Amino acid sequence: GVPLGLATSSPEKHIEAVLRALDLNRTFRVTYSADREPYGKPHPGVYLSTAKALGVEPECCLAIEDSVNGVVAAKAARMKCVAIPEERLRSDPRFAIADLKLSCLSELSEIHWANLNH
């Protein structure tokens, strides 16, 4: 399958606990906190480090983001990015830099995936 990495602004100490509580602790090959970087999002460092740890070129990665800073970070890392902002932020024009904007993750289809990879 596709290797999954988690590049998050959340503190390192919270990542494992949240993933365990949601029964997702075996879902991600790599989890990486921006706490390990000199700068957090919107700096691309956390995304670049996650891609490197996965052994994947950033240009081959798809980031899924819910924040403007996250979208900026993903695009600065040269990744494709799907934005899924919370409802009250969906009209924020800053999300326009994302390659695709959806209302929820379940809307992401194989057609979107294929189109993003061209």
pLDDT for 57: 97
> How long a stretch of residues is the chain?
118
Asked if CATH classification 2.60.40.790 holds for the domain at 5-116, the reply, yes or no, is: no
CA proximity to 86, closest of 66, 108, 71: 66
- 14-37 pLDDT tens trace: 999 999 999 998 999 999 999 999
pLDDT for 20: 95
| Nearest-angstrom CA–CA distance, 95 and 34 | 21
pLDDT for 31: 97
- Say if residue 69 is exposed, middle or buried (CB neighbours under 10 Å; 0-12, 13-18, 19+): middle
Spatial contact of 73 and 54, defined as CB atoms under 8 Å apart: no
pLDDT for 38: 96
pLDDT for 26: 93
pLDDT for 103: 95
pTM of the model as a whole:
0.92
**Residue stretches of the chain with pLDDT short of 50:** none
